[in-house]
Amino acid sequence: MDGALYLGVDGGGTGCRARLEDAAGTVLGQGIAGPAATRFGIEASWQAIETAARHAIAEAGLDAAQVGCIRAGVGVAGIGRKGARAALEAIRHPYASIAFTSDAMIACLGAHGGRDGGIVIVGTGTCAIGRIGGREMKFGGYGFPISDEGSGAYLGLRALQHSLRAHDGREGGSVLTRELMARFQDDPAEVVLWMDRSTATDYATFAPLVLRQADQGDAVARQVVQDGAEHVNGLVRALLAEGAPRVSLIGGLASAMEAWLAPDVRRRLSPTLGDAVTGALALAGRR
């Protein structure tokens, strides 16, 4: 265990993962913890990062001197919030160094082996992130409903809008619209009640149904997914136009959505080389 030690932490909105490696990439220890998103407060965010890191360090059996040699890289969800980055950088830590960036940026670094490139995240939300020639860039991802076109939340909202119109008889229905309304006992009043307490995550729960029906040829589902895919095309093209040497699609809906993208866009996508924790290790300085 001589030489440099690297700690990578993926501090996401649903959980935090840490991995400790040596310069050769041998995994020495791993740890997990709860959400590290800054919207729960900087204190809670750092608690999650520290907990995941402590478990990884304990598994590796490091002493204090060795901990002092660790170079850490951490991606944090919501680091763009006002003052969040400065607050995190001001926290005392036991490592040789620590570098912070967004959880999306470490996913980008991981996807491209620490080198330049871009990613389009297609999950509950959508967002394009890139690092090209030292410049960092971001397109979309401002949140639902003002942004995140083509995301799971977006597909779910569009499908519900069509379902209500079809229920009224204002447009033609389909298997999708009938199946969606059946989840609300065919009662628009139930949809209204549901909406009053629903977030982007709730809307996104309908996305797998929409994508499945689209795959089976349902006319309404195809229309919703094709419109969403057009927005994802736009996000990929924005990165390519900036000169991204590689662009990867990631996120829970990436593989399902990829089939709907324009042929020229699909052809120019690259497979991911590593995960977000790998990206955090690259941020920490591991080559």
First and final CA of the chain: distance in angstroms? 17
* C-beta of residue 109 within 8 angstroms of C-beta of residue 135: no
The footprint of a second copy on this chain (CB under 8 A) covers a number of residues equal to 27
Q: Which of 238, 244, 250, 276 binds a second copy (CB under 8 A)?
A: 238
State yes or no: residue 183 binds a second copy (CB under 8 A): no
Q: Which is nearer to a second copy, 42 or 235 (by Cβ)? A: 235
Tokens for 54, please give them: 């402590």
Q: Which is nearer to a second copy, 38 or 278 (by Cβ)? A: 38
State yes or no: residue 243 binds a second copy (CB under 8 A): no
CA torsion 62→65→66→68, rounded to 10°? 120
State yes or no: residue 169 binds a second copy (CB under 8 A): yes
Least Å distance between CB 231 and a second copy? 8
Name every residue whose Cβ is closer than 8 Å to that of residue 254 and which is 6 or more positions away in sequence: 120, 121, 122, 123
Least Å distance between CB 132 and a second copy? 14
Q: Which of 147, 201, 205, 270 binds a second copy (CB under 8 A)?
A: 147
Q: Which of 2, 64, 146, 197 binds a second copy (CB under 8 A)?
A: 146
Q: Which is nearer to a second copy, 143 or 217 (by Cβ)? A: 143
Q: Which of 93, 165, 183, 212 binds a second copy (CB under 8 A)?
A: 165
CA distance 24 to 166: 59
CA distance 193 to 152: 21
Buried-state track 40-62, b at ≥16 Cβ within 10 A, e below 16 = bebeebbbbbbbbbebbbebbeb
State yes or no: residue 197 binds a second copy (CB under 8 A): no
State yes or no: residue 202 binds a second copy (CB under 8 A): no
Least Å distance between CB 171 and a second copy? 7
CA distance 165 to 183: 16
State yes or no: residue 90 binds a second copy (CB under 8 A): no
Q: Which of 253, 251, 173, 148 is nearest to 206 (CA)?
A: 253
CA distance 192 to 196: 6
Q: Which is nearer to a second copy, 70 or 181 (by Cβ)? A: 181
Q: Which of 41, 188, 243, 245 binds a second copy (CB under 8 A)?
A: 188
Name every residue whose Cβ is closer than 8 Å to that of residue 270 and which is 6 or more positions away in sequence: 111, 112, 117, 246, 247, 248
State yes or no: residue 227 binds a second copy (CB under 8 A): no
Q: Which of 133, 189, 197, 263 binds a second copy (CB under 8 A)?
A: 189
Q: Name the residues that contact a second copy, by CB under 8 A.
A: 80, 82, 139-140, 142-143, 145-147, 149, 157, 160-161, 164-165, 168-171, 188-189, 191-192, 195, 234-235, 238
